[in-house]
Structure 1
């Protein structure tokens, strides 16, 4: 019989709440602690944070209290990657699964990545980062590439209406809401979207490729009418749509691409046509393509974009949660999909 894995949750925003629900319903995981950032949540039973019955686990804003619990793993879902947090947790001998702007760590820069690796080695712990995109997106694209030969390019495109993802800070970091003539708008978007470059490096690791360069490009669209999304407002003439491109270049040719097609509101100029899902394309012999979409279960009651966004929060949280058993068997250090066997929803099938 497998032992139950002791998990501490770190962060209780949208993705963090989805992770909490997964931990509490898993047959193989036990929630032992919860780190929050909002003072109003301190001392509150975790169940109350997600609208569930009491769990007996209360939240804290004291990081040391989480470390003192000595969990096997921390489920880290803060909005951004915090290198100091990562190093503190890893040096304490606690492994991490995270959705916080971390897949391979290349997007954080060499110095930060080296710090994280050194902390993991010192604590004999491991860290794994994913989400649906980036992370799982590279994983399924690479699996699809296994059906083809003479491959020219592997391409993944997220093509979705983002109006329901209520994180103004995230969108502003990518240029949403700013006038089109804002100085260095592309550079701002590149900084805000840099984590997606990790997906390129993950593909390179899996394929045994060394890229000459990893390049970013962006095309912006604006709203013609003022938008009030509830969590942020966008004035007419300001950015409400973005197509971002990360490309791994070898010999002047793009061989791996991760694209983001994001749109807010009913229409933008130039218009962005959305697939409403995640498009995988392998150009080779043969060509492979499919679109990954998700939809609510039959008993789902929500109808607004924010309510429907719950599906996206689940698909962001679950790739990291499902990796926990494999991570605890892995060698210390920064680990990726390349290091693991098949990851699936073990422990989450309904009885």
Structure 2
């Protein structure tokens, strides 16, 4: 994998912009094209979109132009999955790395993966779904940690994100600022998300030689005690300021793998979970019992920023070369083995 790869960045939102910057700066990649949804970005140099020197590559909102572009791989990072578009890209001869899954074969994504598999065979291409959570923190990281175990009784994975310190579009997408009545009356970006997260659970449980018997879900909401001001607006008192999702995979009639997703805006809420700094955490109970915490180093102000968005992009970026070299078809973490990223050691 010493050659460079021609790469298309699909979408330039929060995840896509981080990815685009990486592709431009990484000598292992050559930027071949950029697909944007915002018409105002169409015709703009890719470098200008992310505050870098001009690249000579102009972004476009013309899907057909992107489909016709010669490239080795597409980093596919829209807000929502589009399986039909993924299949078009695969059939056009481009490998696809997607930040929105599917991540691992399960019953709920069987139809989508069947379509993707057929497209891969038609195009002689490969597909890989990855991200931070669902993704790395919930599958390949705990799967790797199992090498340190004599016996495993229970695995818990935590994503803890204080969005007051790192605001993002997910504050609106997840229903923050709504009353509980409003929240439960209409779907949001998290509706049905247990199935997506269960992809990661299935990878670990399958890797341990077992099967998931059932999934269960719990949701706890925390309400703002006073108005909470953040960069994107105000969360009014009495509206949702915190969400705790708990998904459980049952194995051999016991709760074996639990995912906790805590998103919140500060501590001025009831109940106050007193979660501290943003971080990811994996706890494995058994013989021996261990835990691992993954977070950012403190900045000049002593704050540890939540890196979930950044890691979602980079996990796809660092896998692209390996996916391009893989055999046609679905490429899971098991197929990739130990990923060997290219272009990371370079002048700053």
Aligned-pair CA distance for 1:195: 2.6
Unmatched segments (≥5 aa) in structure 1 = none
- Take 2:15 and 2:293, find their aligned partners in 1: how far apart are those partners? 23
Aligned to 2:75, the other structure's residue is in SS state strand
Return the match for 2:284 from 282, 285, 291.
282
Match in the other structure for 1:336: 332
Pairs aligned (count) = 344
Aligned-pair CA distance for 1:177: 2.3
Match in the other structure for 2:246: 245
Aligned-pair CA distance for 1:270: 0.6
Aligned-pair CA distance for 1:271: 0.9
Aligned-pair CA distance for 1:296: 6.2
Contact between 2:7 and 2:33, CA under 8 Å: does it hold in 1? yes
Aligned to 1:56, the other structure's residue is in SS state coil
Aligned to 1:273, the other structure's residue is in SS state coil
- Take 1:236 and 1:270, find their aligned partners in 2: how far apart are those partners? 13
Change (3 A) 1:116 1:171: farther
Aligned-pair CA distance for 1:5: 0.6
TM-score (norm 2): 0.90
Contact between 1:28 and 1:347, CA under 8 Å: does it hold in 2? yes
Contact between 2:156 and 2:257, CA under 8 Å: does it hold in 1? yes
The 10-residue stretch of structure 1 (72-81 or 198-207) with the greater mean CA deviation from structure 2: 198-207
Return the match for 1:319 from 309, 315, 319.
315
- Take 2:186 and 2:38, find their aligned partners in 1: how far apart are those partners? 32
State whether structure 2 residue 248 is matched by structure 1 residue 255: no
Match in the other structure for 1:110: 110
Mapping of 1:1-351 within 5 angstroms? Answer: 2-104=2-104, 106=106, 109-137=109-137, 138-168=139-169, 170-182=170-182, 184=184, 189-192=190-193, 194-275=195-276, 276-295=278-297, 308=305, 311-351=307-347
Unmatched segments (≥5 aa) in structure 2 = none
Aligned-pair CA distance for 1:240: 1.2
- Aligned-residue RMSD, C-alpha: 2.6
Aligned-pair CA distance for 1:291: 0.7
Deviations 1:97-124 (A, max 9, x none): 1212542365964333322222222222
Change (3 A) 1:165 1:37: farther
Ranges of 4+ aligned residues in structure 1 off by more than 3 Å: 105-110, 164-168, 170-175, 181-190, 302-305
- Take 1:55 and 1:19, find their aligned partners in 2: how far apart are those partners? 15
Aligned-pair CA distance for 1:30: 0.7
The 10-residue stretch of structure 1 (21-30 or 33-42) with the greater mean CA deviation from structure 2: 21-30
Change (3 A) 1:187 1:32: closer
TM-score (norm 1): 0.89
